[in-house]
Amino acid sequence: MNTKNTLKTTAALLGLGLLLTGCAQDGANANGAAASESPATQASALQASETWAKAAQDGMTAAFGVLHNSGTADVELTKVEDKAGNVIQIHETTGNGADAKMSQLDGGLKIEAGKDAILEPGGTHLMYMDLKAPLVASETGQLTLVFSDGSSTEVPFEVRNFTGAKESYENHEGMDHKNMDHESMNHDG
Amino acid sequence: MLLGTSAAAALGGVLAGFGTSQAVAGQAPAAAPAPQGPQYLPFHGKYQSGILDAPQAHAVFVGWNLNWREGGKKDQLRSLLKMITDDAQRLTAGRGVLADTEAEMAAGPSDLTVTVGVGQNLLEVMGGAKVGTLPGFAGDKLQQRYGQSDLLIQFCGQDPTVLAHAVRAVSKNLRGLAQKLFTQRGFMHQRGSSDTFRNLFGQLDGVNNPKAEARELAVFGTPDEPSWIANGTTLALRRFEMDLEGWDEVATAGRDFSLGRRQSDGSPLTGSGPADPVDLDAVNEVGLPVIGANSHVALAMPRSAQEVIHRRGYNFIDGEVSGLLFASYQRDPAASFIPLQQRLAEADLLNTWLTPTGSALYAILPGIEPGMYLGQQLLG
């Protein structure tokens, strides 16, 4: 399963071509330790950039960005938390359009050494299952990313308006959820 | 007597006869900017871009009023300005904003500048600096939809498609946070021109705009005598509709006498080239003034160094309505733009064909270094 995730993130990176190249270096949200030969922890190898979360009053929403593993060993993101105590899952999307299905990753999100995991609408993303307080556009949220070695790092996520990619985190009234796979979700947090 | 207002619009003569800047005024720059291309103008610096720079071919002035939420206004404004700063630095670098669904359109910014100003309402939130608002002027027929807004962003660029994306991207990010009051689009020079352009009356506009150091002085003042804040300035934005049908009926002599300059080449009626001095004392063979006292150039001529403004206006056509988006930058509007505009509004011969429908004044925020956000000097 982890192998599958890794392939998926690599494919996403190739699919985006060079668009994001260099973002990890100059992104306003670059976070984490500078690359070094062998970072002490997985968290210290993480460089996050282009990080943002979709504004929402309540219910479900999602966060996106580029997570770069600057180290020489693979890392695995296993848990995402915030100070508000929101339940945040790592989701993947399979299929396209009306057939898109979202589900919680079985296991963590593995990022190979030197590679990026791209979190984007329609792809892998961090999913807030039931917001405890609104995410207000223009404000900055913080998420704590926890890795398989127990290390963690705080990453800022800029909150932005977003009305595209109407997957189930869209939480719109009248939204048709029939094609979405939410078996694994717990809407009560 | 003529009713109506003015327009520093057409004007060639703002600086005519004025100081040393006259020596260089009107000289065509050696090379005109290419109309399109992937040029980058800096976002960071002492001053915001889009002010002293040679005007780009296209502009969009967008005004918003903020929607305040519960809680401190200062915090809300800070968040909003941080977001706009992030948007502006990405767009001017040719990148999409965060959450951009059309980031491809940002590539090749073509001299894109994003210049941010705030009205007096927001200055109060930021600590109470004063720029004030524009008074009413004679002849004003203002429409509220082109009136004073809390926030103003001037988007300028050589490529209208890139520009459209920039406006859209910033607007999307502001949804819910602010209500758009107006979007005023303008265009100016034809290929090969630069600081001067033909307004829709056909007149050569911008002939005697201050250049180089004179421009910087007029806009930002000096360290001892800055604008409302060091490295900031003010923007007066007035919308003048032009009666082009009425203008069609005016013969060349009448047009030239109203302006005080010749439509053909922008030269004053007392000279043979655009850079020649405007001589208000010159009389013709029967003893009448060559340039009328109520001509546009006579009234627009600065009465002192304090009155010099830097015009960065644009033509507009909005459906069947044509006119000029008069945009001027000046250190202190109370000492420059306002008295100048009052004089023109009272008596300018061109007022016959001009109707002012929009009017607003903004405090343009000082420039910033990388890592800062616009307004940080005030909001900390």
Give the start-to-end residue ranges of the domains of chain B: 8-375
Q: Report the greatest alpha carbon distance in chain B.
A: 72
Which segments of B228-368 are extended strands (E)? 233-242, 310-311, 314-318, 321-330, 354-364
Domain assignment present for A139: yes
User: Count of CB atoms within 10 A of residue B303's CB?
Assistant: 11
The rounded distance, in Å, linking the Cα atoms of B254 and B175 is: 49
Closest partner CB to A158 (pick from B98, B101, B172)? B98
Task: Please tell me whether the interface predicted TM-score (ipTM) of this complex is above 0.90.
Answer: no
Token pair of A135 as six digits: 């995410």
Whether the full predicted model's pTM is greater than 0.95, yes or no, is no
Residues A161, B173: C-beta atoms closer than 8 Å: yes
Domain assignment present for A185: no
Closest partner CB to B99 (pick from A19, A136, A162)? A162
The residue with tokens 């990405």 is B90
Which of B86, B111, B105, B78 minimizes the C-alpha distance to A26?
B86
Domain assignment present for A131: yes
Question: Best interface-test mutation with B: which of A21, A26, A160 has the largest number of B CBs within 10 A?
Answer: A160
Q: How many distinct structural domains can be found in chain A?
A: 1
Domain assignment present for A156: yes
CB contact residues (below 8 A), chain A span 78-107, against chain B:
none
Q: What is the pLDDT along chain B (380 residues), one digit of tens a residue?
A: 333 334 333 333 333 333 333 333 334 444 444 444 469 999 999 999 999 999 999 999 999 999 999 999 999 999 999 999 999 999 999 999 999 999 999 999 999 999 999 999 999 999 989 999 999 999 999 999 999 999 999 999 999 999 999 999 999 999 999 999 999 999 997 666 667 899 999 999 988 899 999 999 999 999 999 999 999 999 999 999 999 999 999 999 999 999 999 999 999 999 999 999 999 999 999 999 999 999 999 999 999 999 999 999 999 999 999 999 999 999 999 999 999 999 999 999 999 999 999 999 999 999 999 999 999 999 98
Residues A161, B99: C-beta atoms closer than 8 Å: yes
Domain assignment present for A119: yes
Closest partner CB to B173 (pick from A54, A137, A140)? A137
Residue A111 belongs to a domain with what CATH number? 2.60.40.1890
Calculate how close chain A gets to B371, using CA atoms only, in Å: 8
On the 0-12 / 13-18 / 19+ scale of CB atoms within 10 A, B311 is buried
Question: Structural domain of residue A94, as residue ranges?
Answer: 1-16+73-165
